[in-house]
Amino acid sequence: MSDITRIDCGKRMSEAVIHNGLVFLAGQVGKPGESVAEQTREVLAQIDALLARAGSDKTRILMAQIWLADIADFAEMNAVWDAWVPQGHCPARATGESKLAAPEYRVEIIVTAAQK
């Protein structure tokens, strides 16, 4: 049986969990009230930092789930996402519209990655 490593384990959740060479990140959100583009940039920076702490990076992302409070923001989010994802390392991805934890949040991203 493999060990389970938890990063920033709180009362309710961990920011990341590592098991069997896979890294599972909790949903990441940006600063409430900022634009979709700015929230997306912040979320992707948080993902970069968490993946680094877990022994991975964005070239190792296997799956991304993106939630937008308003699907009309799809193009704005994608402009930031497309600039961030390294060419040739696009993960499987799903994007949907959903109410997020607070109305000020406009984008939330969840990723699963392989460790290096």
The pLDDT tens digits of the residues spanning 27-57 come to 999 999 899 999 999 999 999 999 999 999 9
- How far apart are alpha carbons 113 and 116 in whole angstroms? 9
Question: How many domains is the chain built from?
Answer: 1
Q: What is the pTM of this model?
A: 0.95
CA–CA separation, 37 and 79 (whole Å): 8
pLDDT tens per residue, range 58-88: 999 999 999 999 999 999 999 999 999 999 9
Which CATH number goes with the domain that contains 62? 3.30.1330.40
